[in-house]
Amino acid sequence: MVVSNGPGTALPIIYIAFIIGKLLWNTKIIFIESFCRINSLSLTGRLVFKIVDRFYVYWEELQKAHPKSLLIKGNLSM
């Protein structure tokens, strides 16, 4: 399982986990968008949105714009 909170430095790890998940065994990838992203996704968020298993956002406006994302309400529970 890979959990990332958004830095671009995590991109290689996320892509490696995605490839390993497709070739060898099931790997879950969870991405948590930054709290400061209210209206649009970060660059990292845009690059990984389609390959992660769960994509969490903090703001309802952002969740409505990206229906695949999950809204964090209070505590983050997995």
What's the pLDDT score for residue 50? Answer: 96
- Does pLDDT of 76 surpass 80? no
What is the rounded distance in angstroms from the CA atom of residue 27 to the CA atom of residue 61? 29
Question: Is 78 among the domain residues?
Answer: no
Mean pLDDT of 41-53: 96
Whether the Cβ atoms of residue 7 and residue 44 lie closer than 8 Å to each other:
yes
As for how many domains the chain has, the answer is: 1
The pLDDT value given to residue 77: 58
pLDDT at 74 over 80: no
pLDDT at 78: 58
Higher confidence at residue 49 or residue 77? 49
31 lies in some domain: yes
Structural domain boundaries, residue 35? 2-71
Task: Check residue 48 and give its pLDDT.
Answer: 97
